[in-house]
Amino acid sequence: MNILRFAGFALVGLLLLAPAAAQAQSAPAHELGAVIDTRHSHARGPEVLAVTPGGAAQAMGLLPGDRVQSINGISLRDEGNLAARLDHALGVQGQTVRLDVLRDGEPLSFSGMLQPAAREPSRGCGYVSDRDPTPVVSDDIHAAEITSIDGDSTPLDPQNRHRLPAGEHVLVVSEKIGLQYFTRGQLRQRNLMQRRTLARAYKAIVVTVEPNMRYSIGAKLDRNAMDNDAMRANAYWEPVVFKERAQECR
């Protein structure tokens, strides 16, 4: 699914990878389960922003921050119209896929099978929100920001809620944990990690949206994973749904 949206004055282009989506009128038969940044061509290839937990990309070993250099032998380095090329590359060998990537400068190859795309008919709608009050003290749940939904960048202006059709959705989330919850040394490691890892500082969560339900998204701080190694590995938090409640959606 090739998605372009105006966000303020910036045109944001992200791709939730599913083969032949741009050419097909109906939903694709198979999907990779990875969110790829198609905004800019790059000599090292486009960057993986997120992978769907349990999806084909995760099973093959693809990680956020990887640079995809080629898919099924088709180069994605310094090429125009990345979204169309990605769709074409995924579609040339049917359900099988081979990816050549760079991870921290090291070339790696992955291969596997794409997964059947979910084709459930729409059963209504629900909401996700990162603006709901979070029970910080009681459960170590802190503020978070939903940066994209199913590969579509969220608006730059804060939204009270995001309306979604019922079904599974991939949310890419960044943590907004207050500075007071870290020591000076932990803050230093956190800042270094965020500058170094960029996309890998964000994490993906799959939310199954039921009709007429609202899901509150937060960042859960793991106080047992705040040593230097854990901070550098971005292991000190996870995105969570900390509250579900009924809300009519039309």
* Cβ partners under 8 Å of residue 25, min gap 6: none
Note whether 208 and 175 are within 8 A (CB): no
Instruction: Encode the chain (250 residues) as per-residue pLDDT tens digits.
Output: 222 222 222 223 345 554 433 333 344 567 888 888 776 667 888 888 778 777 888 899 999 889 999 998 888 887 677 778 887 888 776 788 899 999 988 999 999 988 876 655 567 999 999 999 877 667 899 999 999 888 778 887 888 999 999 988 889 899 999 999 999 999 999 999 988 877 678 888 889 999 999 999 999 999 999 999 999 999 999 999 999 999 999 8
Distance CA 14, CA 186 (A): 32
The burial of 210, by beta-carbon neighbours within 10 Å (0-12 exposed, 13-18 middle, 19 or more buried), is given as: middle
Distance CA 234, CA 187 (A): 12
Q: What is the pLDDT of residue 8?
A: 23
Return the amino acid letter for 166: A
Distance CA 16, CA 216 (A): 23
Q: What is the pLDDT of residue 174?
A: 93
Which domains are delineated in the chain?
A: 2-116 (2.30.42.10), 125-246 (no CATH)
Note whether 205 and 249 are within 8 A (CB): no
Phi–psi pair at 179, nearest 5 degrees: -60, -25
Long-range pairs for 86-95: beta carbons < 8 A, 24 or more residues apart: 86/15, 86/17, 86/36, 86/38, 86/46, 87/2, 87/19, 87/20, 87/21, 87/22, 87/23, 88/20, 90/17, 90/18, 90/19, 90/20, 90/32, 90/114, 91/19, 91/20, 91/23, 95/30
pTM of the model: 0.66
Return the amino acid letter for 33: G
